[in-house]
């Protein structure tokens, strides 16, 4: 009985591993709205994110968001908000949060 259970567990694990290889692309495409990759961030932490003299959001996090958007063939939209509201906005206001959250 234990041997059969191990075989079934291995098959289930293999099936999940193979299906996981294909799911991120599908999920990412579903998050996009009209070709816009909406990213929430609190723009107060240079050099990660801050405003330049022309009021543009600059730094490591905006550059990272632009690379992801380029990969998804979408335009990045950076949305400045309070840090405490970022997680609550995922899937509602933003497709992703890139603001020192890991």
Q: What is the pLDDT along the chain (102 residues), one digit of tens a residue?
A: 567 766 665 665 555 555 555 545 445 456 557 789 999 999 998 999 999 999 999 999 999 999 999 998 899 999 999 999 999 998 889 999 998 765
Can you spell out the DSSP letters for 3-30?
HHHHHHHHHHHHHHHHHHHHHHHHHHHH
Asked if the bond preceding 47 is cis, omega within 30° of 0, the reply is: yes
**Which pTM value belongs to this model?**
0.67
**b or e along 65-98 (b: 16 or more beta carbons within 10 Å of the residue's beta carbon)?**
beebbeebebebebeebeeeebeeeeeeebbbbb
Give me the CATH code for the 32-102 domain, please.
3.40.190.10
pLDDT value, residue 33: 77
Distances (CA, A) of 16 to 28, 30, 56, 60: 18, 20, 42, 34
Write out the two tokens for 97: 């949060």
């Amino acid at each position: 009985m234990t041997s059969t259970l191990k075989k079934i567990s291995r098959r289930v694990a293999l099936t999940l591993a193979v299906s996981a290889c294909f799911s991120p692309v599908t999920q990412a495409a579903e998050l996009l709205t009209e070709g816009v990759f909406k990213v929430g961030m609190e723009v107060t932490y240079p050099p990660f994110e801050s405003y330049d003299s022309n009021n543009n959001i600059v730094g490591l996090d905006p550059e990272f968001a632009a690379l992801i958007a380029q990969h998804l063939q979408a335009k990045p939209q950076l949305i400045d908000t309070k840090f405490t509201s970022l997680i609550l906005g995922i899937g509602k206001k933003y497709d992703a949060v890139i603001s020192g959250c890991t």
